[in-house]
A = this chain, B = another copy of it.
Amino acid sequence: MPLTLLEPRRIYREIAEQIAAMIASGELAPNSRLPSERDLAQRLGVSRPPVREALIALEVEGLVDVRIGSGVYVRQEAASRATTRRTRKVAEIGPFELLAARRMVESMIAAEAAKNATREQIKAIAETVEAIRNEDEQHYDLRHPADRLFHVRVAEASGNRALVLMTNVLWDLRDGSLHRRIEEHFSTHALRDRSNQDHEDILGAIRKHDSSAAANLMRKHLTRVERELSRAWPTIAESAAVAKSAATGKRRARIKI
């Protein structure tokens, strides 16, 4: 019998959720002022601290603007931001969906990097390739921050910080539970060695400023990862199914692979 794993109720989250919903629905218009903290606390039947914490959470998310001595105001872009937030959280983006996106975005970035990379940037990329190799020989099993760093450095070589941000956001998507499970089952020496080879090839193309080669190699790299992941998928899915059955209700993982 699958038990419903419940999460502790934290008032500040419920409050933040309510206010965010009101902003998303337009009930709270941009630039409008929220009730005072004391008012909100009284109306919600709670004390001030949780209300303040909720408002700070919304402030960090960029939904509201706190002006000392004046009040809390809804930001212009709050409504659309609330949407971004939901895309990120509501349904975890599966590994295949993510890899498809990365194949498109990162191959394009690699081409751009080959076009614009400076000597220093190429050197920085080479360092990460070296770091991954050394890491592998000793304790290859860790969560390889160097792998991410390689792709981020490539993006930096494009000279466009928006593209760097794209790369970081894509990699941040790997934090979900399913992705973590993959990390466990999907790290063997053989796979790592081939990835390292791919990285070196990409670095070579960037070094020669051959943008189409860089794009193709990056695409090939990610296609290969996808292929190997789909091969290993049955094993992973099995272990994931167990965890999945334990999660129910609101917490159910709505994962589209």
Contact = CB atoms under 8 A, between A and B. Distances in A.
A170 B101 CA distance: 15
Interface string A97-130: 1101110110010001000000000000000000
Nearest to A54: B56
Given A76-B143, A161-B93, A165-B87, A175 B62 contact: yes
Q: Which of A102, A172, A256 has the most CB of B within 10 A?
A: A172
A171 B80 contact: yes
A105 B80 CA distance: 20
Nearest to A9: B68
Contacts of A186: none
B160 A80 contact: no
A165 B160 contact: no
Secondary structure of the A side of the interface? helix
Nearest to A155: B87
Interface of A: 8, 12, 49, 52-53, 56-57, 60-62, 68, 76-77, 79-81, 83-84, 87-88, 91, 93, 97-98, 100-102, 104-105, 108, 112, 143, 145, 148, 152, 160-166, 168-175, 256
Given A79-B145, A101-B166, 17 more contacts: A49-B52, A53-B56, A62-B172, A62-B175, A76-B143, A77-B172, A83-B168, A84-B172, A87-B165, A87-B168, A93-B165, A100-B160, A101-B163, A161-B256, A165-B169, A166-B169, A169-B169
